[in-house]
Structure 1
Amino acid sequence: MLTPQLLDTLKRRETTLWINPLRSPSRPVFDPALVEQAARRFQRAGGLLARTVRSLAGGDGLVESPLIDAEPLRQALAGEGRWLIKADHRMPLAGSVKARGGFHEVLAYAERVALEAGWDGEDFASLAEPRWRSLFDEHRLIVGSTGNLGISIGLLSRALGFNAQVHMSRDASEWKKKLLRDEGAEVVEHDGDYAVAVQAGRREAEADEHAHFVDDERSELLFAGYAVAGERLASQLSAQGIEVSSKHPLLVYLPCGVGGAPGGITFGLKQVFGESVHCWFAEPVESPSVLVQLAAGLDSPVSVYDVGLDNQTLADGLAVAQASMLASRCMLDSLAGVFTVSDEALRGYLRLAQERLGERLEPSATAGFAGPHWLGEAAGRAWCEANGVDLHAATHVLWSTGGGLVPDEVFAGWVKAEEPE
């Protein structure tokens, strides 16, 4: 419930841990078959991606990130158990968690356009040929984004030959806009926030029969693409000999904006590990959109503006006022909870990641670092006891969601506690 006490905590911009009271084993509200289809589409499209994405050339076209040891970070933060980072900031081309979902939707659209034009559907790699690229040049993908989804959609669309139009809010970083423009994508800027950019993109696509709108708030293609991460992580854990069970649970901490990417990942993980995995969302104190929506219930949309927050945060990738209702419905009985983090803490985690791990992230990508701390506090300890979770025996996965494409001067500005233009 969105209680007076919780409202007061949020309005005061105090960091907090919200434990989901409705979490319970249940029948999924999203079709698992769509995730299987997404996994097969990625496999079939490997040859096309290897031919069109420079960073995948010479390989099998797998769009995935490494799972890296985070022991130095655990020591610095006095954590328990085994710590790992799912390094989505190293994702090919897109440099963020948005690669799986965004790439999947672009590939699905390419498949649809080609099939309608007579493609036999057999060899995905053939879509790199001039005939199909010429066809794709007559179509465009449109998306509203704070940045990382726009990069994912924009860069792969251009790589395949599509036109791309990205509507971006005032919260989006200038370097992300420049990156897209340099790669030939059209960037449309709006004075309003993320929601305004999404609405504008949706209207633009509705007026163009050769356009496809990538809807970060409602898209099942995006959600299914993100959910493929569940099986991928399971394979990586198995390869490292890491057991996931009731005695050795998996605790996953996911930075959250609109909720689609962390929601899809959580869905995929729950399909694989069931009650042995516990997923937590991390949100900025100014933009806890999923926390507010889940606490208020799903009868109607609720935004952070409704509780007196301004949605202004250093974590531009998480600066979303209204959560995805699709993601919220899927998370209502499967998400362990949500914790919030301050901009000051994000800067500190940013420095730690660089100093202890040699990894360069963006502020949004460090939000999950606060998760193990919250589970070590009184409310978190009580939750662990109630759910039979031994933090020392657990594997903690901090999901790094972006930063791979950040320019040197921008990163230096973050570390120095000043944000360059």
Structure 2
Amino acid sequence: MDTPEIEPTTEPPMQHGSRGASDPVLSRLAREEPLTWWNPPVDSARGLAASGVDPALVDDAAARLERFRPWIAATFPETAPARGLIESPLDEAGEWQRVSGIRTGRVLLKRDDILPVSGSIKARGGVHEVLQYAETLAVRHGLLPEPPRPGPDYTVFGAEPFRRLMREHRVVVGSTGNLGLSIGIIAAALELRATVHMSVHAQQWKKDLLRSRGVEVVEHSTDYTEAVAAGRVAAEADESVHFVDDEHSLSLFAGYAVAGARVARQLHDLGVAADAEHPLYVYLPCGIGGAPGGVAYGLKREFGDAVHCVFVEPTRAPCMLLGVYTGRHDGISVAELGLDTRTVADGLAVGRASGFVGRAVEGLLAGYVTCTDEAMLSQVRSLHGAEGMVVEPSAAAALDALRRVAHEGAGENPMKVPDGATHLAWLTGGGMLPDHVRAGYLAGRSDNRRSRDRRPHHRSLED
């Protein structure tokens, strides 16, 4: 049965420091009601300038990924046909569009659920940051010239001098799961040692897979934010350790942002226009914010005002909407609303958003949608029935948001979605799901689900 939906709202953002449990948007969030909130429009050029992100970082990331393509192709056979390019297809979803009752526009799926290396969007940023660290080490120790000066084919990273250097260093990251997978897999391939700090609530199969690759997994009884903090503290004490900071990393952000230019090429190849008459709506599942934030930045660079990026979060962990709406960013946690982040969408189970990302992209986003666990699991089943694909609930959140915005666009949606719009759901993960987990999702089950009658009462933000 469809979850009751809250009508879209354009309530203005609260001023920094003003807060109250009586605020209508905060009250809805505290009650775990699905919500659509539209950001006041901001000119894309102004939004990009206000982001504080140097666009040269994205170009540098794209160039680095190009340099490493020979090594990637040699190391990960699934990338060999694309000569080491880690990229996912852009697929039509005509049958899902039909069964979802979306009668206008066009629906596309960005298939990061089958992105090579780790089967999730996190391979974009995670792979880039680890490769940047490896390249920096090689230059520092005289094994490579300083880029962009011509150097050897990067397959030399498989040679013993490079492997020996990597074995002397370690990468550390805090993760809900998918970032840890991408970091751990690429680090192990380079022979870097790796440690991933995770919450005990993270998916067990992801921990098991990491350990099978020789990655150290440290579990914490607290939430994701505390796992990140523990990883940061552990890394600070050792100069041979590089901490991948999911909250503040420009390297991760730039790696994700490279996707913007690649999507532009894919749309061109499909003959899909993105302009004022044919706007592009992109639905991006959001946890701490790094991956969707980087992608949104990259898309805005390419399409400007023709693209409308929508972040999608669980009703039990709407940390980015909460941070942006209140103006407090990483200074507020969903715990202040009485929410505990226990959601079927484990990749989005984050209580406190990245302040860096929130401030960088708040002027680039069209809006935010929150989804219930039931709605996400319903979309897992719907996509499987219509298109034969199985994705994680985190990815299916994008489908629920797309469906709602497309239907609301025919009514009172303040965005006034035109019939010629293209809707793109970014399927962020699911390609590495074990069979028993797939079966559980299709049956509507998850170990991370909890009964609503155990939901804590929300506290007043004035307490």
Q: TM-score range by the shorter chain?
A: over 0.9
Amino acid in structure 2 at the alignment position of 1:173: Q
After superposition, the Cα gap between the structure-2 partners of 1:141 and 1:350, relative to the gap in structure 1 and judged at 3 Å, is same
Match in the other structure for 2:442? 415
After superposition, the Cα gap between the structure-2 partners of 1:177 and 1:380, relative to the gap in structure 1 and judged at 3 Å, is farther
Amino acid in structure 2 at the alignment position of 1:412: A
Partner of residue 90 from structure 1, selected from 105, 109, 114: 114
Match in the other structure for 1:76? 99
Give, in whole Å, the separation in 2 of the partners of 1:331 and 1:69: 28
Determine whether 1:255 maps to 2:279: no
Q: Deviations for 1:222-277, whole angstroms, at most 9, x for unmatched residues?
A: 00000000001000000111111100110000000001000000000000000000
Give, in whole Å, the separation in 2 of the partners of 1:219 and 1:45: 20
Determine whether 1:100 maps to 2:133: no
After superposition, the Cα gap between the structure-2 partners of 1:380 and 1:267, relative to the gap in structure 1 and judged at 3 Å, is farther
The percentage of counterpart residues that share the same residue type is: 46
CA contact (8 A) 2:330 2:354 kept: no
1:164-179 maps to which residues of 2 (within 5 A)?
A: 164-179=194-209
Determine whether 1:65 maps to 2:65: no
Amino acid in structure 2 at the alignment position of 1:165: T
TM-score of the superposed pair, with normalisation by structure 2: 0.87
Q: Deviations for 1:80-110, whole angstroms, at most 9, x for unmatched residues?
A: 3100000001011110000110000000000
CA contact (8 A) 1:350 1:363 kept: yes
Give, in whole Å, the separation in 2 of the partners of 1:374 and 1:411: 25
Determine whether 1:397 maps to 2:424: yes
CA contact (8 A) 2:341 2:350 kept: yes
CA contact (8 A) 1:226 1:261 kept: yes
Deviation at 1:298, TM superposition (A): 4.0
Match in the other structure for 1:20? 39
Determine whether 1:7 maps to 2:26: yes
Give, in whole Å, the separation in 2 of the partners of 1:293 and 1:189: 27
SS in 1 for 2:109: strand
Give, in whole Å, the separation in 2 of the partners of 1:380 and 1:166: 46
Give, in whole Å, the separation in 2 of the partners of 1:372 and 1:158: 37
CA contact (8 A) 2:198 2:220 kept: yes
Give, in whole Å, the separation in 1 of the partners of 2:445 and 2:404: 27
Match in the other structure for 1:365? 395
Amino acid in structure 2 at the alignment position of 1:251: Y
Give, in whole Å, the separation in 2 of the partners of 1:300 and 1:409: 36
SS in 1 for 2:200: coil
- Aligned-residue CA RMSD (Å): 1.6
SS in 2 for 1:393: coil
Give, in whole Å, the separation in 2 of the partners of 1:100 and 1:46: 13
Amino acid in structure 1 at the alignment position of 2:278: H
CA contact (8 A) 2:371 2:401 kept: no
Partner of residue 52 from structure 2, selected from 29, 32, 54: 29
Amino acid in structure 1 at the alignment position of 2:305: E
Partner of residue 68 from structure 2, selected from 35, 45, 52: 45
Determine whether 1:304 maps to 2:334: yes
Amino acid in structure 2 at the alignment position of 1:144: G
Deviation at 1:312, TM superposition (A): 0.9
SS in 1 for 2:325: helix
Match in the other structure for 1:191? 221
Match in the other structure for 2:243? 213
SS in 2 for 1:279: strand
CA contact (8 A) 1:23 1:332 kept: no
Amino acid in structure 2 at the alignment position of 1:308: G
Comparing 52-61 with 216-225, greater Cα deviation is found at: 52-61
Tell me the matched-pair count. 417
TM-score of the superposed pair, with normalisation by structure 1: 0.96
1:284-299 maps to which residues of 2 (within 5 A)?
A: 284-298=314-328
